[in-house]
Chains A and B, each alone.
Chain A
């Protein structure tokens, strides 16, 4: 039936009494449903995958120790079934675990890159490789006290130093220095085993070939696998088949493929500083340079914009769930480091300002945050939230910290 054009549009053909049926129809639907117990959320497919990929905590234990030398050891970590961890979470090559542990009166977390292939996680193995940091607090503790069977509390795999197929070039130039080699070991296996559909040329800077961790392994892997190429770059030794010198732009260009490539960088701060001069010479767009996190800032006085501190240390009042603990924080240590020293359990993972896990409210006081590490959200500036892992006191401080859970 065609409607007449001149008529104003109206709803006359809809029965208003249909409205009165809404409730009875709904009631009947509810009445007809069973009163059975509800399926738990974690049994649904998305929840199951989410839980497998992102466990709140992973209880592990040391199952094997590989001693490279007295200052470098690899630890194979497996699930601690007795504590309820039955499988290890899958990860993207390049990610890290945040380990937490009590040492004496202190409570500390430290990030360690996973150095093994993601496929090994399916077999119940993560490998981390720890290098001794002179004056370091946790690295020495690990190297000197961990034995087979030592329990280890780890986070889920974290971090963004990973290959992203839609973002990165298919060819990765890995620039590694010192213990910065660890994520590349994982990436090398991921490339070799076809987990990541990419190629990698690894330029590994060490003083001598002897100092290069996993040297034989990388050499063998490169021979076997065309997608992976391995080059030693030795600063204090000249050797056949190895490059001599540093990771310069010229050297990178020599090994770079034609066309696009992504540069992935992980190494000590001296190497980052050196590359800050070298990488711009390559004229790469910013998206093609990915840096692993810098780790803790050890000396705020060296940072751009540091205003100087009136005192050598300040009083830090830490409030957790309404309970205050008072401690001393040195001007040259982060608020997080002071909390750890005092044995206050504060959440943290990356310790580099990036992950936001340590986010806390600055109730009062003045602070300094190195600009290069400031990973805060915009609104956090408006409402006085900070990341204590990269925040240094300039006065007495009151800080409201979320409760820790493992």
Chain B
């Protein structure tokens, strides 16, 4: 007779790990299945020569410190997972190339941030401050919505939480413009669209503000030993609490009871059963591994209505000189061909936006003495890959792409990179398709477009995920992508499922 688990979690990405750690800690027998031989999904690391690269994390927001813990700190701390956090205090440097361009560095800390904004764009102070001041109002409204169990009194909302409704009901740019924020100040702050993959004329203001505030108030954090430390710490929690993790175990089918509720999966040809299944795998793939009869029509329509989120091309360089010798003084530099986010988005294949990170500025010993690493990120969609690209042309394709960006960074930053390249690795949506298995190699699940924004997703959660016994978490879930969101959602779902299993609701 096959063993029945309380919970099977499919996929050991950030969401799956956080979910499994929470169910295991709550005392549910938990089996976590992962198709790769490592945990973490995007949150891992890889070695080339004497370097160990961070594959995906730019900076984690909403971490905080031991004294002032924020949500992400608490996700780990509550589980008893110890992370060696390293912090970055400059927000970012951003360069717009060309004649009317600029080169500006913004600071973190609410006051320092507003001051650095005022210095960059005289006269913007009040509007920037006003934008950040919306954050506590949003939190208060969300607390109220939760307290009312998702059924807030419309009158209370309208009277007491009007600014929340205005923020949550409009795009970033609508809200900033209403506050009278000068265009240049908007463009500067909205550099961050790159982390969410949706330009700010479409992106929900509340969502963006949550992320922005996380960076501005707490700065950014990274694990000392790349993201593999984060994933390993969660694995350790799962195993300490009696949970089981199976690597090299790709799930190929989801199993359902007569009544259409999910009751298990097939991995490596073996049927595995559980009272509840949590999928860190994107609904598209889950539906394609399920009996079509069990998928509610509305859920299938939703999947059809959605567009895939953005992916990236990335270049990882191990250099045989230090960051100082190279002349890299910043951890994060956003380099842009245009100042306006929508233009950057539209021009993503020519001269849009890309990010250069030098991890040594935050984690000095993240590469051997006398060396440093650079990490380039270019947002692009899986469907931007040339349709007729043949496997044998792929190496040249990715090297040409990398060359263009490296040379552009050399020119823009006035530094010499190529002669120092000791190790190189280049990833594209092909790479993410390979490791994550997502359609188009999306790393952000579904596009958080205007109609499918965080707010609207939150409201629709119950109907959108309607298969009994099957929960979802991860970048494709309601809060969208980003390590922080995936951890927070994983924790929420893990706790919710554990509670249900213990006889709660």
Contacts and interface: CB of A to CB of B under 8 A. Distances in A.
Report whether chain A binds chain B: yes
Interface of A: 3, 8-23, 25-27, 29-41, 44-47, 49-54, 89-90, 92, 118, 122, 160, 164-167, 285-287, 321-322, 347, 354, 356-357, 359, 375, 377-380, 382-383, 385, 402-405
A50 B45 contact: no
B320 interface: yes
26 contacts: A8-B130, A9-B179, A9-B181, A16-B158, A18-B170, A25-B456, A26-B456, A26-B459, A29-B451, A29-B452, A36-B300, A38-B303, A41-B433, A47-B441, A50-B431, A52-B391, A92-B395, A166-B403, A166-B424, A167-B421, A321-B244, A347-B248, A377-B226, A379-B232, A382-B225, A382-B229
Interface string B125-154: 011001000000000000000000000001
A95 to B, nearest CB: 11
Interface in B404-425: 406, 418, 420-424
Nearest to B168: A19
Interface in B153-176: 154, 158, 162-163, 165-170, 174-175
Contact of B311 (A30, A46, A165): A46
B382 A44 contact: yes
B386 to A, nearest CB: 8
Contact of B52 (A165, A166, A378): A378
B460 to A, nearest CB: 6
A347 B37 contact: yes
Main secondary structure of the interface of B (DSSP, over half): helix
Interface stretch (B88-96, B195-203, B281-289): B281-289
B288 to A, nearest CB: 6
A362 B190 CA distance: 47
A278 to B, nearest CB: 21
A373 to B, nearest CB: 12
A-B CB proximity, top 10 nearest:
A19-B169, A33-B305, A287-B422, A16-B165, A50-B434, A9-B130, A402-B247, A19-B165, A46-B429, A378-B225
A23 B268 CA distance: 41
Interface residues of B, number: 95
B287 A38 contact: yes
A167 B424 contact: yes
Residue of A13, A321, A379, A403 with most chain B CB atoms under a 10 A cut-off: A379
B385 A49 contact: yes
A370 B126 CA distance: 61
Nearest to B3: A322
B236 interface: yes
B38 interface: yes
A202 to B, nearest CB: 22
A35 B179 contact: no
Nearest to A195: B392
Nearest to A156: B434
B166 A19 contact: yes
A357 B287 contact: no
Contact of A22 (B311, B394, B453): B453
Residue of B37, B167, B440 with most chain A CB atoms under a 10 A cut-off: B37
Contacts of A89: 391
Contacts of B179: 9-11
Given A167-B421, A402-B247, A9 B126 contact: yes
Interface in B276-320: 284-285, 287-288, 292, 297-298, 300-305, 311, 320
A223 B156 CA distance: 87
A8 B304 contact: no
A46 B432 contact: yes
Given A33-B301, A287-B422, 6 more contacts: A18-B166, A33-B302, A47-B433, A50-B433, A167-B421, A382-B232
Interface string B351-395: 000000000000000000000000000000011011101011011
Nearest to B381: A46
B150 to A, nearest CB: 12
Interface of B: 37-38, 45, 47-48, 52, 126-127, 130, 154, 158, 162-163, 165-170, 174-175, 178-181, 225-226, 228-229, 231-233, 235-236, 244, 246-250, 268, 284-285, 287-288, 292, 297-298, 300-305, 311, 320, 382-383, 385-387, 389, 391-392, 394-395, 399, 402-403, 406, 418, 420-424, 428-434, 437-441, 451-453, 455-456, 459-460
Given A33-B301, A40-B288, A402-B247, A14 B169 contact: yes
Nearest to A3: B180
A34 B437 CA distance: 24
A403 B391 contact: no
Contacts of A38: 284, 287-288, 300, 303-304
Contacts of B180: 3, 9
Nearest to A383: B232
A22 B456 contact: yes
A362 to B, nearest CB: 13
A288 B3 CA distance: 54
B247 A14 contact: no
Contact of B302 (A30, A39, A378, A402): A30
B455 A35 contact: no
Contact of A359 (B37, B300, B422): B37
Contact of A35 (B231, B250, B297, B431): B297
Residue of A20, A45, A90, A357 with most chain B CB atoms under a 10 A cut-off: A45
Given A3-B180, A14-B178, A26-B456, A167 B422 contact: yes
Given A287-B421, A379-B225, A46 B441 contact: yes
B484 to A, nearest CB: 20
A33 B453 contact: no
A183 to B, nearest CB: 16
A167 to B, nearest CB: 5
A302 to B, nearest CB: 23
Contact of A49 (B178, B394, B418): B394
A86 B244 CA distance: 36
Contacts of B231: 379
B47 A356 contact: yes
Contacts of A402: 37, 246-248
B178 A13 contact: yes
Contacts of A160: 48
A383 B225 CA distance: 12
A26 B451 contact: yes
A41 B130 contact: no
Given A32-B305, A38-B300, A52-B391, A379 B432 contact: no
A26 B179 CA distance: 27
A14 B174 contact: yes
A378 B228 contact: yes
